[in-house]
Chains A and B, each alone.
Chain A
Amino acid sequence: MGLVVNGILIVHHETNSVHHSFFHFISHSKTFEKIINPIQMELAIQNVSKKYKKNKYGLKDFSLTIEKGILGLLGPNGAGKSTLLKMIATINKPTEGVICLNKNNIVKDPDYMRQQLGFLPQDFGVYPNLNAIEFLSYIAAMKGVGGLGLKQKINRLLEGLNLNDVAQKPIGSYSGGMKQRIGIAQVLLNDPKVVIFDEPTVGLDPEERVQFRNLISDLANDCVVILSSHIVSDIDSIADKVAVMKDGGLMAYHNPDELIALVNGMVYETMISKEELPEFKSNHLVVSTSRKGAQIAVRYITRNGNQPTHRKKANLEDAYLYLTKKHRA
């Protein structure tokens, strides 16, 4: 079921979040142009820099256009990932450049982004003396959502995250994984259109990570999802596009297959002794090592195709390491 208003299709499902956009339209008719188009979502980061001190940049001349789907953000510590995410989440402002969501400059109008943002920060914390329902009600109040459906929504989220049994207990008594689930619940409270997850799988066990990845895939049908993680496998399996950052700049922006193609035919594995390892490491870009009896199996990347060793099938982790430590290959 759909409704076309001034060329923008507003899909009216009975329960989904686009319905909310329609209410938003009705109540904010003056800002009609700013209504989120459920078909097209575009987050444009244009020449953004964040300068801290003289010649010290967290981010430098960074440009990227993100559309609906999942963007995986990879980079070593200090690459500028968190700086970028905080600017998209309107917590920080760029020193230069603009960030536009559906052509609205969110640096000037942060509330436009905030109304449709779901953010799970890396250092997500809770108020320990509130219970889950109270904490989510508090976040809902901060986000500016309410109505009769709120209580029901909180209950459904807690049920879906298997926290309904402990919903009345103070969050201070929860385990790390349970707190992380509260973090996921708060992201979904306001039917977000832009979702930012900064290291979201910290505290989740492997089984929970799989479930979480499914949830993100579900979200990506309707939203821009930005997922920053050090765990390449988290991104590998679900990201539509991957951005690799280093030293405040963008090293690469492709889909995972295109990134992997960059190192195709360059990944090898060899067996060496423990004594040879330090010298080997200094001469090659080593991806990983594993013990195999007295020997060590070393996976490495090299541009020199003349290797007397086994060639291996490249993966995203190889591509990521190659891009961030290219000079050593």
Chain B
Amino acid sequence: MKHFTILIKYDFVKRIRSYTFLITLCASLAIAYTFVPAPGACYSTISISDYVGEYNSAWLGYVSAMMSSILLSLMGFYLVNGEIQKDKSTRVGQIMAATQIRNSKYLFAKVISNFLLLLTILGIIFSMNIALFFMYGHDYSFELVHFIKPYLVLTVPAIFFIAVLSLVFEVVFGKYTILQNVVFFFCFTSLLVYKPKTELGFALDVFGDKIVANHLEEKVSILNGSDQQERLNIGYTINKGNANKKFTFSGFNFPTSFLVSRILWVCLGFVLILGITPLFHRFNIQAAPANDKKLKNSLESKFSKGNITLNNLPTIKPNFGILPLVKMELLMLLRKGKRWLWSVNILGMGALCFLPMDIAHKIVLPILWFLQVHRLSDLMTKDKAHDVHYLSSSSKSPIKRLLNAQLIAAIILLSVLSSPLVIRQILILNNVLAAVSILLGSVFLVLLSALMGLVSKGKKLFELTFFLMTYANINAISFLDYFGGLKIGISQSLTIIALCSVILPLVYIMRNWNLKRS
């Protein structure tokens, strides 16, 4: 047990000292600050019809717990995902594999470390919301139980399950990170739109927020005297001024069946870990060259059988053009991931050709681009991740040539993927502005991925942001429409151009700064 605790402790310590954790923590705090809008703010996060709760302990506690449950489930997955891969790349995994530790113990240690990490963030969000209560809720008394109860019942089991799920996905899908992202995306969105009405239905909701939402909806329906239940809106909604009506929410007594279901979710987590234990590779994932005759021969023959005569090597010419680099960068983008995944891209391009324009532009395009997340997310960091950065840093004009080539190659990739839609917009609808919006969207996306990669020195920040953006795009949230799916017009295009003009110099500055510190 002592060894197990030490394993968790140092895994946890290693992770909270990472740059990614710091960035996620800052982002979580910034987002958590917006969970409960200030009185008079022009937006709302949770509202029922045109009602919002009075700013008492119960409203602030439950609203922030529900929002945390959803946000941390999403961000948390990306934050804690990839830990086995990290052990593999740092080669600590091989050391671990040579010890007596059992697979189940290793996986449990990872899950608990994942959970502790998310719990740390939750603890900070929780403290922040209490502070917000003292800022906003001057007229009400502070009741700690209204803060603790929803967090304990809703959020804690939810983040535990996410801690488990991220590990399960990593073990089951292995190196297919794109599959992990896609499957999680669909699970997450399905759960968000899931609208249960029965006790069993509430029990199946891992976020746990549906039961509270249902209670709030019923309460407002009674206030309105309406026969039909009002719908709760969760998410950021822009109001015109402070038009919302107020109602008093005094907390909620969770039914016993629901409380049992929360415990069962935690138990299910443990069962899942035990279930995937036989699938865990225990870092025995070396490619087996022995099956390949040529590779085997080469391993055995060594380079002493070859002979390099320097004077006989052909003459080469200087070629400082950017084109060969663009070509090679494009090749690397195409090569990323498994070949069969390209069939999904081709299907997506086919859908852009034949589906109704509205669906193709608003839904298929952002999903098709999101499927390239693994290609875009390490655009700026792949050389460091693969230890090629010393070569790129000492190459001729790395900013002017290599950086530009990387950006151009990624823009070409996204543009080619969206080309059926662009062609349709121009040839069939004669809508050049829509085509321009799509192309600008691809430029914006590439620049955003570059900037986020350079700032965070990793992939996760962009992966998470891209996920949120895609989710918002599919749900028709116009604020995050970067490709003209919802609103095509000069002002939208100009906004994207302005954003690109701000991001582009930042990318150059950051890349230059990173190069100097490589």
Contact = CB atoms under 8 A, between A and B. Distances in A.
Given A173-B292, A207-B304, 7 more contacts: A119-B391, A121-B391, A139-B391, A142-B398, A143-B396, A156-B312, A165-B298
Interface string B306-332: 111111111111111100110110011
B394 A125 contact: no
A16 interface: yes
Interface in A66-119: 86, 89-93, 111, 114-115, 117, 119
Contact of A121 (B308, B327, B390, B398): B390
Nearest to B319: A146
8 contacts: A92-B518, A124-B390, A125-B387, A125-B388, A140-B316, A141-B324, A142-B402, A207-B302
B98 interface: no
A29 to B, nearest CB: 14
B303 interface: yes
A93 B289 contact: no
A80 B518 CA distance: 16
A322 B516 CA distance: 36
A132 to B, nearest CB: 10
A15 B305 contact: no
A119 B396 CA distance: 13
Given A19-B315, A114-B394, A127-B382, A215 B308 contact: yes
A272 interface: no
A181 interface: yes
Given A149-B314, A160-B308, A89 B390 contact: yes
A169 B394 contact: no
Nearest to B384: A125
Given A90-B394, A91-B518, A211-B303, A166 B315 contact: no
A91 B394 contact: yes
A104 to B, nearest CB: 15
Contacts of A86: 390
Contact of B319 (A92, A127, A147): A147
A189 interface: yes
A252 interface: no
B478 interface: no
B178 to A, nearest CB: 14
A152 interface: yes
Contact of A137 (B299, B324, B387, B391): B324
A309 interface: no
A145 interface: yes
B394 A119 contact: yes
Interface stretch (A20-28, A43-51, A228-236): A20-28
Contacts of A156: 308, 312-314
A240 interface: no
Nearest to A121: B390
B287 interface: yes
B287 A173 contact: yes
A141 B404 CA distance: 13
B316 A190 contact: yes
Nearest to A156: B313
Contacts of A114: 394-396
B306 A172 contact: no
B382 A178 contact: no
A224 interface: no
Interface in A118-160: 119, 121, 123-130, 134, 137-147, 149-150, 152-153, 156-157, 159-160
Contacts of A125: 386-388
Contact of B390 (A91, A144, A165, A207): A91
A93 B512 CA distance: 13
A175 interface: yes
A4 to B, nearest CB: 21
Contacts of A130: 331-332, 335
Nearest to B336: A129
A212 B306 CA distance: 11
B401 interface: yes
Interface in B148-194: none
Contacts of B226: none
A161 interface: yes
A208 B390 CA distance: 24
A177 interface: yes
Contacts of B298: 162-163, 165-166, 178
Interface string A192-215: 000000000000010110111001
Interface size on B, as a range, is: 35 or more
Contact of A172 (B287, B294, B391, B405): B287
B311 A16 contact: yes
Contacts of B26: none
A238 interface: no
Interface size on A, as a range, is: 35 or more
B456 interface: no
B292 A142 contact: no
A17 B313 CA distance: 8
B324 to A, nearest CB: 4
B386 A128 contact: yes
Listed residue (B305, B307, B318, B518) with the most chain A CB atoms within 10 angstroms of its CB = B318
Contact of A153 (B307, B314, B320): B314
A163 B401 CA distance: 29
Listed residue (A124, A144, A169, A222) with the most chain B CB atoms within 10 angstroms of its CB = A144
A210 B314 contact: no
A302 interface: no
A188 interface: yes
Contacts of B317: 20, 23, 145-147, 149
A218 interface: yes
A45 to B, nearest CB: 17
A166 B302 CA distance: 12
A327 interface: no
B475 interface: no
Contacts of B391: 119, 121, 124, 139, 142, 186
Given A16-B310, A114-B394, A126-B386, A162 B295 contact: no
Given A144-B396, A157-B308, A127 B299 contact: no
B197 to A, nearest CB: 49
A19 B190 CA distance: 65
Listed residue (A119, A134, A143, A177) with the most chain B CB atoms within 10 angstroms of its CB = A143
A90 B518 CA distance: 11
Given A91-B394, A142-B325, A163 B303 contact: yes
A152 B388 CA distance: 24
A161 B314 contact: no
B517 to A, nearest CB: 9
Given A114-B396, A145-B317, A173-B289, A134 B331 contact: yes
Contacts of A138: 325, 328, 331-332
B315 A162 contact: no
Contacts of B402: 142
B388 A15 contact: no
A153 B310 CA distance: 10
Given A149-B316, A160-B309, A208-B304, A123 B332 contact: no
B430 interface: no
Contacts of B397: 111
B301 interface: yes
Nearest to A112: B396
Contacts of B321: 146
B392 interface: yes
A139 B309 CA distance: 21
